[in-house]
Amino acid sequence: MIQKTNSTVIVSRNLLLDNLRSFSRFLDPGTRIMAVVKSDGYGHGAVEVAQTLDPSVEAFAVNAIQEGIELRENDIAKPILVFEVPQQRMVSQYRVHNLTATISAKEHFEWLPNGTSYHLNFDTGMGRLGFHPSQAEEVADMVQQHRELFCTGIYSHFATAHEPGFSLVARQHETFRKIQSFFPDGLAAHIANTGGTAFYDTRQCTMVRLGIGLYGYSPGSTGIRGLKPVLSWKSFLAQTKEITSEATVSYGAEWQAPSDGYLGILPVGYEDGIKRNLSGRLKVRIAGKEYAVAGTITMNYCMVFLGDDYYEPGTEVDLLYTENNAYDWAQKLDTIPYEILTSIDTRIPREYV
């Protein structure tokens, strides 16, 4: 993959580990941690994130089998759970790379080759993948019938744990406990995600899955003390040009300069992950001072009105930073930090510090 040269994403290993340690106060004694590094580590770089966390967690989770293979090829030896429905053309790779499959429907027992390890997924209220709770006894029988496969865990997923105070969390947890009663005690069992771990006092089974919290964000609007964003994003001024009062900028000619001054051109746009709907809402930072983006954000460029301030081409520009992070962008776009982070183009180089 050819990397871009228009910007750089900086990822702090120390902050990643600090965020992990912040969750220790929420864990029941003996609870293990599965670190979720799907979608290229939520845009942070799955391999580097996994290598950083490897000494401190017990397992990893990815969405796609190709993501698991990438971790194995980069010396991650701990268990890796693959969430996706098994792809029949790829199922041989579970054994080749010692990956743990997910079985969430009866036919999956037939698809997986002998010797494959797997976790069972039950739908206790998420309404996505997974067996219905009423199938628990039948699924337990199928586990016994397919001894050529190795069941090593069982899991579900909270639908509303992104905020505290939802009664559905307790109902899902109770349903999951009932499902567990049909299966051996020695299986890994996990239902709690970041919010389920931080916001709810329900017992955590044997393992929790930490995703967005590792990267410094709460899953909803309620903050989690101690978390700090791990990722920042920098670009530079490709060009600085004079602009006169009332001159228009970008497509639609809807923005007009409020006065004479300077316009900075940044070589990043919505192709890179700066959403077009941030037009008129986004600020960036140059030399410690914030400036508003001028006009419509385009595919490859966005413009900044600098007023009377002149900066040389090549001057560094902060796009995502502590005071203007993925949560702030998400608030402007009525979305969540997950979408902001995973939208940053993977061709933009990640620098690990």
| Residues catalogued as catalytic | 38, 251
Question: How would you classify the pairing of strands 316-320 and 231-236?
Answer: antiparallel
Distance between CA atoms of residues 161 and 194, nearest Å? 8
DSSP string covering 75-113 = T--S-EEE-SPPPTTTTHHHHHTT-EEEE-STTHHHHSP
- DSSP 3-state of 36: strand
Burial of residue 342 (CB within 10 Å: 0-12, 13-18, 19+) is middle
**Left if phi > 0, otherwise alpha if psi is -120 to 50, otherwise beta: which for 167?**
alpha
Taking the CB of residue 52, how many other CB atoms lie within 10 A of it?
23
Token code pair at residue 172: 């899902």
Q: What share of the chain is helix, strand, coil (3-state, %, to 5)?
A: 30, 25, 45
Distance between CA atoms of residues 47 and 54, nearest Å? 10
Q: What does the DSSP 8-state code read for residue 321? A: B
**In 312-334, which positions are buried (b, 16+ CB within 10 angstroms) versus exposed (e)?**
eeeeebbbbbeebbbbbbbeeee
For the CA atoms of 303, 307, 313, 314, what is the dihedral angle to 10 degrees?
A: -80
Q: Measuring CA to CA, which residue among 162, 214, 190, 158 is closest to residue 41? A: 214
Backbone dihedral angles phi then psi of residue 306, each to the nearest 5 degrees: -100, 0
Question: For residue 304, what are the contacts with CB-CB under 8 A and spacing of at least 6?
Answer: 263, 264, 265, 266, 284, 286, 291, 292, 293, 294, 317
Q: Measuring CA to CA, which residue among 261, 276, 274, 268 is closest to residue 311? A: 261
Are the C-beta atoms of 136 and 168 separated by less than 8 Å?
no
